[in-house]
Amino acid sequence: MAKKHIVPIVALNSISYLYDGNLKKASKDKKLLKQAISVMDEGFQVLEKLGYTITPADQVKLIRKHRQGVYYGLKIYHKLPFMKLVDGSFSEIAALMVEKEPSTR
């Protein structure tokens, strides 16, 4: 599960990081939002080439076939007031990695 979930988490948390948590400002960066969509598509492609089935498949289909709609969705998503309450940090990525990869220390 973590391998599939981490693709959008890395892209979306990177947006937050690059704007120091100012999601309203991030929502105005068209180039960055479109790049995040490309990053998600590329991440899913890598997982598929490694033999992983992406579930839900509609998530991948949406990103690949409706990029403009996903762009507007991300634009709106980052403007929503409740987004301030979402973790949106790299600790979320680390938690996903720890969940799947046992510590070797």
**Total tally of structural domains belonging to the chain:** 1
Would you say 27 and 34 are in contact if contact means Cβ atoms under 8 Å apart? no
Question: In this structure, is residue 104 part of a structural domain?
Answer: no
In a domain, 64, yes or no: yes
Q: pLDDT (tens digit, 9 = 90+) per residue, 21-58?
A: 888 899 999 999 999 999 999 999 999 999 988 888 88
| Residue 45 forms part of a structural domain | yes
Query: What is the spatial distance between Cα 43 and Cα 84, in angstroms, rounded to a whole number?
Result: 26
Identify the domain containing residue 67 by its residue range.
2-99
**In this predicted model, what pLDDT tens digit does every residue of 48-98 receive, in sequence order?**
999 988 888 888 999 999 999 999 999 998 888 877 666 566 666 666 666
Give a yes or no: residue 105 inside a domain: no
Torsion of CA 17, 62, 1, 89, to 10 degrees: 10
Residue 95 located in a structural domain: yes
